[in-house]
Amino acid sequence: MRSYFYHKKLKKVVPVSDEKQNKIAKKRLDEIFKFKRDLIPDYFIDRWSEVALYNPGGDVNNANAIIINPEDGAYDLSNPLNNLTGKEWIKFTCSWFIFNALQKDLKEEREVSLNTQDHPATFSPTMIEGFVNFFTKRGEFVLDPFCGIGSTLVACKRTGRVGYGVELNKKYYELSLKRTPEFRKNIFNDSAENITRLNFPKIDFSISSPPYWDVLNRSTKDFKNKRTKKGLDYNYSQQVEDLGNISDYDIFVERVVKIYFDIYNLLKNGGYLVVIVKNVKKDGIMYPLAWDLARKLSAKYKLKDEKIWIQDKVGLSPYGYPAAWASNILHHYCLIFQKK
Ligand SMILES: C[S@@+](CC[C@H](N)C(=O)[O-])C[C@H]1O[C@@H](n2cnc3c(N)ncnc32)[C@H](O)[C@@H]1O
């Protein structure tokens, strides 16, 4: 008879040889499969014949976790948040990560948009998959109020979540529809400032990156010329509703904050909101956009944490050289909030 129970001994997960414990474990597993099936991630359901009951202390009667491959870790059946094993969960809790655009994402974008660089500031669906996998379970609802060409929606499609989005620029909106036609009814070509009128259902999680103030309008002549020559956008649009066209910093911050406050009412209780943003510079002065959003949004949300996204494959420009200090900002803040 195969073993149905594993326990940790000497930092190693070993099969239990005790026949009595083995029988109790088999019975518990049968009950779990019958009565708690909804709690079990697909990965375990699909390979149920290989699943063993697990308790780190080796207590079969109080075991409430399941395991297949000890290398992948165990899934705790009382986990209300996601479908991750303990090992996967802990791995994601590191306060920083390095991520550069991936070829597989660029290829997927190219196939749909014919031009990966049409939008001047997208993020990679693979990077967003990590957040979606951590903050939701399979089948749950995820909203991106600045969805651009739909990178968050692609992450939802890949991970079996339901994506919702808003995007002001019609061209980007259409690209997001092309990339995720299954979410067609959930994506709106509108301003996120109208989000309360768009009839969204209760959302489990929201992740987005707003315009980083008007930085694109202030990019170097060289950047603008290069992109214009190639027929690419150097900013999002000329529309007045485009938050990237607001030149007054305080007004910009106020309008972004209002949108995230509106999303508070759409989020389920205890749901998380992730805002990916940078501190920015204007005329040699730093404007702490990430920190200002963190402080202002905590008037309503619990500010839980920051996770720093680092890009280490971007070339450095000699901004202040040889006269004054000016950094190349190559890190972003993924600010993590929770609805109280
Ligand atoms: C940083 S980009 C987000 C890109 C997106 N994460 C992606 O990967 O494609 C910000 C987006 O916000 C959009 N935007 C600007 N103002 C908006 C508004 N008032 N409502 C909705 N979208 C807006 C811009 O057109 C742009 O696509």
pLDDT in tens, 222-255: 777 777 777 777 777 888 899 999 999 999 999 9
157 lines ligand 1 (CB under 6 A): no
Ligand 1 center to 56 CA (angstroms): 45
Q: Whose CA is nearest to atom 17 of ligand 1?
A: 242
Separation of CA 32 from chain center: 30
Mean pLDDT of the region 321-334: 95
Ligand 1 center to 276 CA (angstroms): 12
Q: Say what angle helices 125-135 and 103-113 make with each other, to 10 degrees.
A: 110
Q: What is the model's pLDDT at position 268?
A: 98
Strands (E), 138-288: 141-144, 162-167, 187-189, 203-208, 267-277, 280-282, 285-287
Q: Whose CA is nearest to atom 23 of ligand 1?
A: 168
Q: Whose CA is nearest to atom 19 of ligand 1?
A: 191
Ligand 1 center to 172 CA (angstroms): 9
pLDDT in tens, 246-279: 999 999 999 999 999 999 999 999 999 999 999 9
Q: What percent of the chain has pLDDT above 90? A: 73
Dihedral angle over CA of 156, 157, 159, 160, nearest 10? 100
Which of 142, 146, 169, 177 maximizes ligand 1 atoms within 8 Å of its Cβ, making it the mutation to test the pocket? 146
Closest CA to 112 of 57, 178, 156, 159: 178
169 lines ligand 1 (CB under 6 A): yes
